[in-house]
Amino acid sequence: MSKSHRQSVKASKRKRQEARRPKRRAPYLPYLIVVVVAGALIAALFVISLGSSGPGGVEAAYPAGYTAPTQGDPDAPVEFVMWGDFQCTFCKRFETQTLPRLRADYVDTGKVKFVWRNFAHYGKESEDAAVAAYCAGEQGQFWEYHDTLYRNQGSYNSGAFGTSRLNRFADDLSLDSAAFQACLARPKYDAVLSADYGVGRGQGVQGTPGFFVNGEYVSGAQPYETFVRIIEAELAASGQ
């Protein structure tokens, strides 16, 4: 047998032996699979805990007994959720230019339920203003106070929504001053603001204003016509 033939036989034998050996898996692969699966489960649980933007879908994240401020027929076929900040200038543009028309054409006519959610992200005065609006709501004037805040908006954290001015707004609306100030002093609504912000982030809100119209997200102070197209499509789909 020639030398080259012997080498060929040995090489062939080594290949057969290697083919019979079980293949070794990468030692980290099972751990990688576990990490990926665990991450997916955690993400799914996080989304479930935050809920959806639909009617009642986010209530589990809020303190017991809390209900978001709404306007319009609670059974309206279209739910219009706004995520806003009282110091947000683009929110003010929407509130003063676009929302009045939407209210007149859709909210007041029973076609749309308008829901307010706080996404207070401009600082302390955003949070203080939001709490003040809720305190006014305890006396049945959330929306009146809400509108007052936007009319009196100043530059960010400049004192426009300092405690003395918040109390003055309450006096202008003839609220019970003692009850209003006591409400401001309690941390009663901190959990609401925290839940609002967490739910908003979980649903993809990154800035203000942000909107969900029957679950369809709209970012920014869009013109009246943009919202009308979505609302009309939703009304048509519901048979209205």
Percent of the chain residues topping a pLDDT of 90: 67
Mean pLDDT (whole number) for 90-116: 96
Q: In which domain, by residue range, is 16 found? A: 3-50
Q: 116-143 pLDDT, tens per residue?
A: 999 999 899 999 999 999 999 999 999 9
Radius of gyration of the chain (CA): 29
Q: How far is CA 14 from CA 6, 7, 8, 22, in A?
A: 12, 11, 10, 14
* 130: amino acid identity, one letter: A
- Say if residue 66 is in the same domain as residue 161: yes
CATH code assigned at 210: 3.40.30.10
* 45 and 114 fall within a common domain: no
For residue 126, the model assigns a pLDDT of 96
Q: What is the pLDDT of residue 96?
A: 93
Same-domain check for residues 127 and 93: yes
pTM score of the predicted model: 0.74
**One domain, residues 80 and 147:** yes
pLDDT value, residue 57: 52
Q: What is the mean pLDDT of residues 210-218?
A: 95
Question: Could you tell me if 7 and 111 lie in one domain?
Answer: no
- Of 64, 71, 143, 147, the closest CA to residue 103 belongs to 71
Residues 41 and 97 in one domain: no
22 and 111 share one domain: no
What's the confidence (pLDDT) of residue 61? 77
Interval 154-182 mean pLDDT: 95
* Domains in the chain, number: 2
**134-139: which pairs have CB atoms within 8 A and are 24 or more residues apart?**
134/183, 134/188, 134/189, 134/192, 135/170, 135/180, 135/183, 135/184, 135/189, 136/170, 136/173, 136/175, 136/180, 137/69, 138/179, 138/183, 139/175, 139/176, 139/179, 139/180
Same domain (yes/no): 159, 63: yes
- As given in the structure block, the two tokens for residue 46 are 């996080």
102 with 148, same domain: the answer is: yes
Per-residue pLDDT of 169-192, as tens digits, reads 999 999 999 999 999 999 989 999
Q: Reduce the DSSP state of residue 212 to 3 states and report it.
A: strand
Band of pLDDT at residue 10, cut at 50, 70 and 90 = low
Verify that 26 and 63 share a domain, yes or no: no
> What's the pLDDT at 79?
97
Does 74 share its domain with 176?
A: yes
- Average pLDDT of the chain, as a whole number: 82
* Residue 63 pLDDT grade (very low, low, confident, very high; cuts 50, 70, 90): confident
Task: Indicate if 81 and 149 belong to the same structural domain.
Answer: yes
Which has the higher per-residue pLDDT, 188 or 42? 188
